[in-house]
Amino acid sequence: MAEMALSELGDSSSWRVNSYTQKDLFGGTAEYKVIDTTIAGDSLIKIAVNGTYNDYSVNVTVYADKQS
């Protein structure tokens, strides 16, 4: 899901998902959001994903540079 979000940002740098949205993938589910954030003065995009498959859960956070 994180890769899909990065691809969507490549198509539209202003794309955001401000509250968790669920998507069914490969027999499991992923909840994700894409928001603006600032870390140590750097303006970034945060992609947060919570995935579940066969009762196993994983959380992934990706930070991407904002494209002008």
* pLDDT, averaged in runs of 10, over the chain (68 residues): 94 95 95 97 96 96 86
Q: Position of tokens 């968790």?
A: 20
CA distance 6 to 38: 18
pTM: 0.89
Residue 23 forms beta bridges with which residues? 30
- Tokens linked to 42: 């750097």
Q: Position of tokens 């994700």?
A: 32
